[in-house]
């Protein structure tokens, strides 16, 4: 018993934990890894900031295109002598649409699309009107924008109905042409309903 105790005392107690050099090595490794990760995150944020704006613009353009097409596809002719006969110029058009942007989806609703100048920015806005609600849908630099109306023969007109000739109440196609700084955008939509109002029972 005495000899065994003497051998354990000579060896001394076992050391538990890391030495100072090991701790310093671990700290240096952590600092190097943290620096690399920080640089990677910084590059990621820069890419998101750069391409996130472009992605937002693309998504916004797709949304505006879908809204415009939705309302035009739902255009519905008003009865003869009605208050909402379709009328269009190169800067605006109005009529009835069964696909309005409000909650009245499915019911023929008076709507209007207008191109107007913004005095504050010096640019142009695409404005949607439904009832008393006016919404600025899209804005861009420059003033070159117009609506173009096409008849069944695909002849373009700046007004609808055209001044000469017999034409149905609705055109076969309405184009929104936007000319920016070196770029041209065209949104094309066609009414899917009848071009002329259907006869009512009292008219038959």
Beta strands, E only, 41-183: 75-76, 87-88, 92-97, 109-117, 124-130, 133-140, 144-150, 156-157, 173-179
Domain contains 88: yes
Q: State residue 26's pLDDT score.
A: 80
**pLDDT for position 159:** 96
pLDDT band for 57, please (50, 70, 90 cuts).
low
Residue with the bigger pLDDT between 198 and 158: it is 158
**Within a domain: 20:** no
What total of structural domains would you count in the chain? 1
**Helices and strands, number each (H, E), in the chain:** 2, 10
Q: Which of 28-32, 137-141, 150-154, 182-186 has the lowest mean pLDDT?
A: 182-186
Q: How much is the average pLDDT of 31-48? A: 64
Torsion angle of the four alpha carbons 90, 81, 193, 132, in this order, in degrees rounded to the nearest 10: 60
Is residue 16, in this structure, part of any structural domain at all? no
What's this model's pTM, rounded to 2 decimal places?
0.68
Q: What is the pLDDT of residues 98-154, one digit of tens each?
A: 999 886 777 889 999 999 988 787 788 999 999 888 998 888 777 789 999 999 999
Give the mean pLDDT of the chain. Answer: 79
Is 145:178 a contact under the CB 8 Å cutoff? yes
Q: Which of 46-55, 60-69, 81-90, 165-174 has the lowest mean pLDDT?
A: 46-55
Does 128 fall in a domain? yes
Would residue 73 count as lying in a domain? yes
> Does any domain span residue 127?
yes
Q: Is 193 domain-assigned?
A: yes
Domain-located, residue 40: no
Provide, rounded to the nearest whole percent, the portion of the chain with pLDDT above 70: 73
- Measured CA to CA, the distance from residue 30 to residue 55 in angstroms comes to 36
Q: How many residues are present in the chain?
A: 204
More confident residue, 96 or 198: 96
Query: What is the span of the domain harbouring residue 136?
Result: 65-199
Distance between CA atoms of residues 49 and 44, nearest Å: 9
pLDDT confidence of residue 191? 95
Q: What is the pLDDT of residues 157-179, one digit of tens each?
A: 999 999 988 999 999 999 999 87
């Amino acid at each position: 018993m005495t000899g065994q105790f003497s051998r354990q005392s000579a060896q001394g107690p076992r050391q538990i934990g890391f030495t100072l050099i090991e701790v310093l090595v671990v700290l240096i490794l952590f600092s190097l890894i943290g620096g690399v990760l920080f640089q990677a995150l910084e590059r990621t944020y820069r890419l998101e900031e750069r391409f996130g704006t472009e992605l937002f613009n693309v998504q916004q353009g797709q949304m505006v295109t879908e809204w415009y097409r939705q309302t035009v596809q739902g255009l519905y002719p008003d009865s003869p002598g009605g208050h909402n006969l379709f009328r269009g110029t190169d800067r605006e058009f109005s009529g009835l649409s069964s696909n309005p942007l409000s909650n009245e989806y499915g019911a023929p609703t008076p709507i209007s699309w207008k191109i107007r100048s913004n005095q504050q920015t010096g640019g142009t806005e695409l404005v949607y009107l439904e009832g008393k609600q006016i919404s600025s849908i899209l804005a861009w630099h420059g003033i070159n924008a117009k609506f173009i109306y096409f008849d069944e023969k695909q002849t373009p007109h700046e007004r609808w109905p055209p001044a000469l000739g017999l034409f149905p109440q609705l055109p076969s196609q309405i184009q929104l042409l936007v000319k920016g700084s070196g770029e041209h955008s065209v949104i094309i939509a066609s009414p899917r309903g009848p071009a002329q109002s259907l006869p009512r029972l009292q008219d038959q």
